[in-house]
């Protein structure tokens, strides 16, 4: 560890987001004086690797934040609701990945490239936005600054790692089950073979083990979170509410359909946005090419456009498929992809800490 720097705690250090956070802290040479990895009771005894050291995981309790400067929370809303106030009482600044405090009017919801100035208003807690909202806004906000967005229609294509390591394992298990059933595929219609393989995969695991309500391998699930009385899911409502807060546009209309897809890593969003001012593809490309944290990849005739495989493991989001929207006045359609474990979670949190 460095002799100088900050005393850091990472809650959920052994999970997918927590593991990625440790990598980002190390890769970006964040000034860490000491690291306290924290987990649930079942994680105690494990070790995490950081800067060449093997550091044992500590159990989360009321004393976890003593002498801590910055506490990263990557363990879900219930843990954050219970322990973020304890961290603040210990004079740590909490950077929370969960949805627990995002819509609290006293908690800044921050994407550093967009609304870093909101951090000045923090009272000990800063929230990380929903990963899909972040990916979309990395492309939408630069356009808004020039053309003033009026309303947004979005369809998401969200990777299974958004559900954590168990989501990845479920897709792997179902895909492997289909592969092993390949011989039967030659004797049955393809759809029947896929259904049988995924059924076998689910049958070997209890209902409690299942992450998704239906097979996700070779399938699409228009259900990324629980349904509300309105017919929208919580994830879809987050995209509207968080976009409004981050962009300081309380009346902005955002209609989203969120879909889980059989991709391991990186979310994508198809966006159609209507602006107050006339927009051209050429102007939009010029704006997006200069936007921080964003790479313009828009050469469709050469088969160059953003894809999950292109952005997985990369800090920058990518935007492409720019075209005038034929159904909206002053409308522009585009496609944006980003690694939800990086810019959607770990990287964004570390960038917040760097600004602090």
pLDDT in tens, 127-184: 999 999 999 999 999 999 999 999 999 999 999 999 988 999 999 999 999 988 765 5
Catalytic residue among 7, 131, 144, 150: 131
In the chain the domains, ranked by start, together with CATH numbers, are 6-129+346-355 (3.40.50.720), 133-159+221-345 (3.30.360.10), 163-209 (no CATH)
Say whether 164 sits in a helix, a strand or coil: coil
Q: 108 and 119 in contact (C-beta within 8 Å)?
A: yes
Catalytic residue among 7, 150, 202, 267: 267
283-338 pLDDT, tens digit each: 999 999 999 999 999 999 999 999 999 999 999 999 999 999 999 999 999 999 99
Q: Helices 131-147 and 234-247 sit at what angle, rounded to 10 degrees?
A: 40
DSSP bridge partners of 158: 260
DSSP bridge partners of 157: 259, 268
DSSP bridge partners of 59: 39
Q: What would the two tokens of residue 319 be?
A: 């935007």
Taking alpha carbons only, the member of 232, 235, 215, 213 closest to residue 224 is 235
SS3 content of the chain, % helix, strand, coil (to 5): 40, 25, 35
Whether 131 is a known active-site residue: answer yes
**Cα(44)–Cα(95) distance, integer angstroms:** 22
CB atoms within 10 A of CB 276: 12
Taking alpha carbons only, the member of 235, 228, 301 closest to residue 267 is 235
Taking alpha carbons only, the member of 55, 52, 62, 67 closest to residue 18 is 55
Taking alpha carbons only, the member of 163, 155, 341 closest to residue 258 is 155
27-36 pLDDT, tens digit each: 999 999 999 9
218-263 pLDDT, tens digit each: 999 998 899 999 999 999 999 999 999 999 999 999 999 999 999 9
Whether 205 is a known active-site residue: answer no
Q: 297 and 320 in contact (C-beta within 8 Å)?
A: yes
The pLDDT assigned to 330 comes to 98
Residue written as tokens 């819509």? 103
Q: 81 to each of 76, 122, 350, how far by Cα in Å?
A: 9, 17, 21
Say whether 215 sits in a helix, a strand or coil: coil
H helices present in the chain, as ranges: 16-27, 77-89, 112-115, 131-147, 165-180, 182-185, 190-203, 234-247, 281-289, 308-311, 347-355
């Amino acid at each position: 560890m460095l002799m100088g720097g900050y005393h850091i705690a990472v809650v959920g250090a052994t999970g997918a987001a927590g593991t990625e956070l440790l990598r980002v802290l190390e890769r970006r040479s964040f000034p860490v004086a000491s690291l306290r990895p924290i987990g649930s009771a079942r994680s105690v005894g494990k070790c995490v690797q950081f800067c060449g050291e093997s550091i044992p995981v500590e159990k989360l309790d009321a004393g976890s934040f003593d002498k801590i400067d910055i506490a990263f929370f990557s363990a879900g809303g219930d843990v954050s609701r219970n322990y973020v106030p304890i961290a603040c009482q210990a004079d740590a600044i909490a950077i929370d990945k969960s949805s627990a405090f995002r819509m609290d009017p006293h908690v800044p919801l921050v994407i550093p490239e967009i609304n870093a100035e909101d951090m000045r208003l923090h009272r000990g807690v800063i929230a990380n936005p929903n990963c899909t909202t972040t990916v979309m806004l990395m492309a939408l906000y630069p356009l808004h600054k020039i053309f003033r967005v009026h309303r947004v229609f979005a369809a998401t294509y969200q990777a299974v790692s958004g559900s954590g390591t168990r989501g990845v394992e479920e897709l792997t298990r179902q895909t492997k089950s289909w592969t092993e059933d390949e011989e039967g595929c030659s004797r049955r219609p393809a759809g029947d073979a896929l259904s049988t393989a995924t059924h076998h995969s689910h049958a070997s695991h209890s209902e409690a083990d299942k992450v998704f309500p239906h097979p996700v391998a070779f399938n699409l699930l228009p259900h990324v979170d629980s349904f509300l009385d309105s017919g929208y899911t919580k994830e879809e409502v987050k995209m509207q509410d968080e976009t409004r807060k981050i962009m300081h546009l309380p009346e902005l209309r955002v209609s989203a359909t969120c879909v889980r897809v059989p991709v391991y890593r990186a979310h994508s969003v198809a966006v159609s946005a209507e602006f107050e001012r006339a927009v051209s593809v050429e102007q939009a490309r010029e704006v997006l090419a200069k936007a921080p944290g964003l790479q313009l990849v828009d050469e469709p005739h050469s088969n160059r456009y953003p894809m999950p495989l292109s952005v997985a493991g990369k800090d920058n989001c990518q935007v492409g498929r720019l075209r005038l929207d034929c159904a909206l006045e002053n409308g522009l359609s585009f496609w944006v992809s980003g690694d939800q474990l990086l810019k959607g979670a770990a990287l964004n949190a570390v960038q917040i800490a760097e600004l602090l």
